[in-house]
Structure 1
Amino acid sequence: MPDLSGEAPLPEEQGAPSIAEQVSQVPTSPGCYLWKDAKGEVIYVGKAKNLRSRMFQYVNLTDDRAKIPLMMQVVRGFDYVVVESEHEALVLERNLIEQYHPYFNVDFKDDKSYPCIAITESDVFPAIKYTRERHRKGTRYFGPYTDARAARETIDTLRKAVPVCIASCAEWKRTRRYLEAHPDDAAVANIVLAKQGRPCFDSHVGRGPGVCCGQITTVDYAENIRQVEQFLAGRRGEIIGELKEQMAEAAANLEFERAGRLKRRIEVISGLDDRQQVTFPTSVNIDLIGIYREETISCACVFVVREGRTIRTSEFILNKGMDVDEDELVEGFVKRYYDETADIPAEVDVTVDLPDAELLGEWLSEKRGHVCHLHRPMRGEKSHLLELASRNARHALMRYMVRTGYADDRTNQALLQLESALALDAPPLRIECFDISTLHGAFTVASMVVFTNGRPDKSQYRRFKIRTELDEANDFVSMQEVLGRRYSPERMADERFAATAPDLLVVDGGKPQLTAAMTQLAELGLDIPVCGLAKSDEEVFVPWDETPVVLPSGSASLYLIKQVRDESHRFAITFHRELRTKAQSVSILDEVEGVGPKRRKAIMRHFGSLKRLRAATPEQIAEVKGVPEQVARDVWETLRAWEGEAAEVAERAAGAEGPAAAND
């Protein structure tokens, strides 16, 4: 992992040209570029139609991706490779990423290989096998599968439908060695093996074709292999049609035992299809890729649809999340996934418009041998299935985080990073954050949220009504009041407030809010580490430096402190709106003639909320004890009139609340 401390770049060696000067000498040809850190390690690989122009976007920071400024801080050099076309650059980029595993490129979270189902096509009698190997010459791969058990069960089901050898069979291995040593016998292999072969267990029970003892010719076995590949490619309808024809032919020839075997094979395949969800009314072959992202981790879910049916779903954990753009994340996954599989459909659907969609489509078409389209559906069944794939990706990511303890590790990392970045004496195990919410000085409230060991501690949340009379929004005064009340000697000794000072105090806002907090803490004689978090650029203001601290984009520390700030904002807004709603309900009933404090209290106690009261009929309102029918009718009519003005009132309130939101 490169050093992401955010320090300024090291000075250039004496007399050495700058990175910009070196880039100016790069050719304008298509190719791949490799950015390197001070240790000479490759930290990012990219492709370009024009190398010099693309690399200058990094040097001049005109590339607007969030990770670029951070990455360029640690870049100390580069290499590049010139190729003939942009298509060649795409292929080379994938190979270089596979070779170097650069930190800033999108890749799988772990470097493990995913299982595939393979057919050893180069053998005289090809076999099926479960494997994690990649790209062995003469072998065709189907997958990858993220569920190893599902891959093994697929092989087991497939061999019940179409008898083929399995690569782990000892007798098949012996047969393979013999034919490799005697290639001239391949044409009459079944005759030779019938004389000197030994039957394996599978051939005894009918699951094996009997290759080892010469019971099948190479021509008939090749037909079985063709059906196996059709099955794995999702073309099961073709297999069922062929098997039905063979069964009818066997029955016509009075070969009832063979017809019975074929019928059982048809039932196996049909039973498998019955368990699949029909996703399209037409027979289409597509892959749908859904994505769900957290801050620095994400999951891709692939729905493999063949002949209109979802035959497989696979989930892959990726090492990047919201710290990269979604189109970059999707494009990186598409390159990695289809680099490892030969099962490429006629169409690949993704959740975003990719800048290089046409180029990627050409690459996929070349690998497939037929046209493959890559695009983003905006409506219809495909769009619905993409949303479903994204939901599945979310659940898969949550399961991964729980299974691996990812959230706990990341929380510990965040606390240690905050300790270092904010110069604290110890990790901030208790963090308190305050936020102010107001509407031009009316209904001003404050929230206090507490995070213990990096997690929300809702039993410690508190909310305050600001008592100071304000003619307009004044965060400075409001913040001083709430901190004075929270950290007063009485509250500091109160067990309900944990009877202790926090390890870190966070105020929502920039320098003014931080100054208010420091002033109030100084008056109370308290020495509590404090910082302010501005909304605009996510800058952290600290008392000991005029320059704000900028936590690295996508870092665990930035994610945690934003989570704390957002939670305090949510808690304050909720309380603020609650007070406004109560005030509105009281003022509306006060307008009704015949409704005094006693009846108003009885009505609100009966319905519990203004929302329920507004939904009530005049008869239901009249059921309230002490409310006459005419008064109930007047209440109902007043509420209807109020609702008629609701849109206009809401619009005015929204316009008025806009500036106030900046003060929340």
Structure 2
Amino acid sequence: MSHAPLPWEVSRDGQPSLAEQVEQVPTDPGCYLWKNESGTVIYVGKAKNLRSRMRQYIKLTDDREKIPMMMNEVRSFDYIVVENEHEALVLERNLIAQYHPYYNVDFKDDKSYPYIAITESDVFPAIKFTREHHKRGTRYFGPYTDAKAARKTIDILRKVVPICSANCVEWKRTKRMLAAHPDQEDVATLFLANEGRPCFDYHVGIGPGACIGAINTVDYAKNVSQVERFLQGRRHDIMDEIKDQMHEAADDLDFERAARLKKRLEALSSLNVRQQVIFSSDVDIDLIGFYREETISAACVFVVREGRTIRSAQFILNKGLDVSEEELTDSFIKRYYEETADIPSEVDIAIDLQDAEVLGEWLTEEHGKVTRLHRPQRGEKFKLLGMAKENAMHALKRYMVRTGYDDERTNRALMELESALALNKPPMRIECFDVSTIHGHFTVASMVVFTNGKPNKSQYRRFKIQTPLKEANDFVSMSEVLSRRYGPKTMADRRFGSKPDLLVLDGGKPQLTAAIEQLSKLGLDIPCCGLAKSDEEIFVPWDDTPIVLPSGSPSLYLIKRVRDESHRFAITFHRELRGKAMTKSVLDEVDGIGPTRKKALMRHFGSLKKLRQASVDEIASVKGIPREVAEGVWQTLRAWDEEREDEQRAANGGPSSGSDKAPLEV
């Protein structure tokens, strides 16, 4: 069956179509840039084989949800050929930084994050707080996401290791003097002793006195090295050096200097006490956790050095569930490690990346030492990775509250639903129903309510289906629950709230048909739709063709959330009924067990599962349960377990244990 030509299959202005142009792309490694009608770059990608990768977009064999929408905007492309995958990765990051394409993963606010920098190219390097990270001759540590924490780190550092501040007026004057007399750099200490002026920090004892030649370049370089190792997390080395210096000063009877060194050591020790020890070995790793919403996400990086978490950083990203977890992780790693000089020997993430080897090679080149990507599956690293994900979740929630992101998105979702479903007004009150059953048994229905786009749990209701059913019948069940919810008596009950602006059914055409018929019988005119699970298609009464909301749109996110909440609420009630029935039917088989003893057992053990795991002695320890009754409970539960195993084996085509006893009622 033929289909209408897609935009990239159509020739324009006498030029070959995009599909035809892609066939002329070389098979070399490189980067490709998709552009829209105005020539704006909307996506940048890399490939080992450019033609093969770009064909996946043209043929829609790339299964990412955003691809069809993106390709509908594409009108042209460029590509750049490089030598290998590694060069392609570096070029991709540079192009993304240059163009900020809409469909690429990037930081949401794209602000300049704080760094701590050391001006290494100066004769007397200084420390500074900065938001730029590109000057040559300057080494950057970060990024930090808490500016206050970065400034505090600098303050603590300068108390521990004397080093000039780049904000110091006298340090700036010293820098200008040395720049004006480059021939004096070799004798900078003597030159400054004659020409310099002491700064305020030197007077109060936290400055090294480079401005007046109080410290030579060799000793000052040692201080700079200590500061850099501190920022890299190498604190044990610094503490050992300070201890040696303190003992040396004491041996020389220089007790004043020894006392100053002792105070520095205590400052470092107190800082280490505050850090949480998480590993028994002195590992250097970064652990990156993500938390995703529909079109926004957060990343949290735990920076672990010498077995301690020295800092964590949170970032908000402009993509969420609308891209794959692999794409989100891959893009973040490239962006983050492009901007930090502090690269560990191991980066832990929650998934396996297809480009892990190439990324590892790139990080190794940046690091100067071998760096690998690792996916922990158990142990301390796995646990800490879960903590990183939890912190990412809190960071995202804080961002959404702070910026009003959720409210703005919800308002847009309601307006989009009004337009897409041809409603008379935005659906400020949405009611959604779902039916849950198992072969017609324990059939229940849920009703969830969203008011102003948010769950209104005080209005949630659940129903036991009263119509006798020999098998699952969603049509009958939905008709019953709607007749009970929208019957005259219930509609007059204030506890059920007002009539909804939109009725959503979890299901497709059958559920929608049942709803329309029932509402017609009741004489009610309520806008309704059905949401199918498979392709997220929305069925409406006035059109045989289902509506497909744009992938990643606020309206699709909202209606899916409503549907998923109704399903969760229904299945929870269904399991609750099954659990109660299971407990009742099994224990009713035991002689000597009545309502009081049954209640005592369930109160003591909390669930049938825990009761099944209990020994005879544990059951007999329950107050009011005689030994012989406990043995009867234990034997009955064992027999019930065996029968369930038989049923499972039979379902799997295996032999049963040969018991002829009829199955217990469940």
TM-score (normalizing by structure 2): 0.90
Give the letter aligned to residue 121 of structure 2: S
- What is the aligned partner in structure 2 of residue 44 from structure 1? 43
Give the letter aligned to residue 211 of structure 1: A
Instruction: Verify: 1:88 aligned to 2:87, yes or no.
Output: yes
Distance 2:530 2:190 in 1: 84
Q: 3-state DSSP class of the match of 2:108?
A: coil
Residues 17, 611 of structure 1: alpha-carbon distance in 2 compared, 3 angstrom cutoff: farther
Q: Displacement of 1:339 after TM fit? A: 0.6
Q: Displacement of 1:637 after TM fit? A: 5.5
Q: Displacement of 1:472 after TM fit? A: 1.9
Distance 2:240 2:584 in 1: 74
Residues 611, 403 of structure 1: alpha-carbon distance in 2 compared, 3 angstrom cutoff: same
Q: 3-state DSSP class of the match of 2:463?
A: strand
- What is the aligned partner in structure 1 of residue 207 from structure 2? 208
- What is the aligned partner in structure 1 of residue 273 from structure 2? 274
Distance 1:249 1:583 in 2: 78
Distance 2:148 2:585 in 1: 65
- What is the aligned partner in structure 1 of residue 662 from structure 2? none
Q: Displacement of 1:497 after TM fit? A: 2.0
Residues 34, 588 of structure 1: alpha-carbon distance in 2 compared, 3 angstrom cutoff: same
Distance 1:118 1:243 in 2: 23
- What is the aligned partner in structure 1 of residue 513 from structure 2? 515
Distance 1:651 1:561 in 2: 40
Residues 395, 501 of structure 1: alpha-carbon distance in 2 compared, 3 angstrom cutoff: same
- What is the aligned partner in structure 2 of residue 303 from structure 1? 302
Distance 1:590 1:450 in 2: 38
Matches within 5 A, 1:99-178: 99-178=98-177
Instruction: Verify: 1:459 aligned to 2:458, yes or no.
Output: yes
Distance 2:199 2:205 in 1: 10
Residues 537, 122 of structure 1: alpha-carbon distance in 2 compared, 3 angstrom cutoff: same
Q: Displacement of 1:249 after TM fit? A: 2.8
Equivalent pair of 2:587/2:598 in contact (CA under 8 Å): no
Equivalent pair of 1:604/1:610 in contact (CA under 8 Å): no
Instruction: Verify: 1:34 aligned to 2:33, yes or no.
Output: yes
Instruction: Verify: 1:425 aligned to 2:430, yes or no.
Output: no
Distance 2:380 2:478 in 1: 52
Distance 1:493 1:444 in 2: 26
Residues 376, 580 of structure 1: alpha-carbon distance in 2 compared, 3 angstrom cutoff: closer
- What is the aligned partner in structure 1 of residue 530 from structure 2? 532
- What is the aligned partner in structure 1 of residue 500 from structure 2? 502
Q: Displacement of 1:650 after TM fit? A: 7.8
Q: 3-state DSSP class of the match of 2:422?
A: coil
Give the letter aligned to residue 172 of structure 2: K
Give the letter aligned to residue 531 of structure 1: C
Q: Displacement of 1:647 after TM fit? A: 4.8
Deviations along 1:564-606, whole A, 9 cap, x unmatched?
11221222223333333444445446545687xxxx5555666
- Comparing 553-562 with 334-343, greater Cα deviation is found at 553-562
Give the letter aligned to residue 483 of structure 1: L
Equivalent pair of 1:622/1:632 in contact (CA under 8 Å): no
- What is the aligned partner in structure 2 of residue 472 from structure 1? 471
Equivalent pair of 1:446/1:465 in contact (CA under 8 Å): yes
Q: 3-state DSSP class of the match of 2:314?
A: strand
Give the letter aligned to residue 19 of structure 1: L
Q: 3-state DSSP class of the match of 2:277?
A: coil
- Comparing 323-332 with 523-532, greater Cα deviation is found at 523-532
Deviations along 1:521-572, whole A, 9 cap, x unmatched?
2233322111111111221111222222222233222222122112212222
- What is the aligned partner in structure 1 of residue 573 from structure 2? 575
Q: Displacement of 1:302 after TM fit? A: 1.3
Q: Displacement of 1:83 after TM fit? A: 1.9
Deviations along 1:406-426, whole A, 9 cap, x unmatched?
322222222122222222221
Distance 1:463 1:261 in 2: 71
Distance 2:207 2:607 in 1: 74
Residues 377, 459 of structure 1: alpha-carbon distance in 2 compared, 3 angstrom cutoff: closer
Q: 3-state DSSP class of the match of 1:292?
A: strand
Equivalent pair of 2:600/2:622 in contact (CA under 8 Å): no
Residues 70, 611 of structure 1: alpha-carbon distance in 2 compared, 3 angstrom cutoff: farther
Give the letter aligned to residue 517 of structure 1: A
Q: 3-state DSSP class of the match of 2:304?
A: strand
Equivalent pair of 2:604/2:622 in contact (CA under 8 Å): no
Distance 2:244 2:592 in 1: 87
Matches within 5 A, 1:251-400: 251-400=250-399
Give the letter aligned to residue 226 of structure 2: Q
Distance 1:186 1:296 in 2: 55
Residues 501, 117 of structure 1: alpha-carbon distance in 2 compared, 3 angstrom cutoff: same
Equivalent pair of 1:618/1:636 in contact (CA under 8 Å): no
- What is the aligned partner in structure 2 of residue 3 from structure 1? none
Deviations along 1:122-167, whole A, 9 cap, x unmatched?
1111110000012111111011111111111111111111111101
- What is the aligned partner in structure 1 of residue 486 from structure 2? 487
Q: 3-state DSSP class of the match of 1:207?
A: coil
Distance 1:360 1:633 in 2: 62
Q: Displacement of 1:471 after TM fit? A: 2.3
Distance 1:350 1:635 in 2: 48
Distance 1:195 1:462 in 2: 86
- What is the aligned partner in structure 1 of residue 17 from structure 2? 18
Q: Displacement of 1:390 after TM fit? A: 2.0
Distance 2:175 2:542 in 1: 75
Q: 3-state DSSP class of the match of 1:320?
A: coil
Q: Displacement of 1:204 after TM fit? A: 0.7
Q: 3-state DSSP class of the match of 1:526?
A: coil
Equivalent pair of 1:445/1:464 in contact (CA under 8 Å): yes
Equivalent pair of 1:285/1:346 in contact (CA under 8 Å): yes
Q: Which runs of 5+ in 2 are unaligned?
A: 612-617, 654-666
Residues 619, 174 of structure 1: alpha-carbon distance in 2 compared, 3 angstrom cutoff: closer
Distance 2:21 2:70 in 1: 18
Q: 3-state DSSP class of the match of 2:287?
A: strand
Equivalent pair of 2:234/2:305 in contact (CA under 8 Å): yes
Q: 3-state DSSP class of the match of 1:313?
A: strand
- Comparing 361-370 with 91-100, greater Cα deviation is found at 361-370
Deviations along 1:312-368, whole A, 9 cap, x unmatched?
111111111222111111111111111111111222222211111111111111112
Give the letter aligned to residue 306 of structure 2: E
- What is the aligned partner in structure 2 of residue 565 from structure 1? 563
**Percent of aligned positions that are identical:** 69
Distance 2:607 2:309 in 1: 49
Q: Displacement of 1:120 after TM fit? A: 0.7
Deviations along 1:376-403, whole A, 9 cap, x unmatched?
2333332332222222222322332333
Q: Displacement of 1:258 after TM fit? A: 2.3
Equivalent pair of 2:124/2:210 in contact (CA under 8 Å): yes
Equivalent pair of 2:36/2:76 in contact (CA under 8 Å): yes
Residues 203, 504 of structure 1: alpha-carbon distance in 2 compared, 3 angstrom cutoff: same
Q: 3-state DSSP class of the match of 1:26?
A: coil
Q: Displacement of 1:503 after TM fit? A: 0.8
Q: What value does the CA root-mean-square deviation take over the aligned residues?
A: 2.7
- What is the aligned partner in structure 2 of residue 74 from structure 1? 73
- What is the aligned partner in structure 2 of residue 661 from structure 1? none
Q: Displacement of 1:33 after TM fit? A: 0.8
Residues 526, 230 of structure 1: alpha-carbon distance in 2 compared, 3 angstrom cutoff: same
Distance 2:379 2:586 in 1: 46
- What is the aligned partner in structure 2 of residue 247 from structure 1? 246
Q: Which runs of 5+ in 1 are unaligned?
A: 1-6, 656-664
Q: 3-state DSSP class of the match of 1:225?
A: helix
Distance 1:582 1:244 in 2: 67
Distance 2:118 2:629 in 1: 83
Q: Displacement of 1:216 after TM fit? A: 1.6
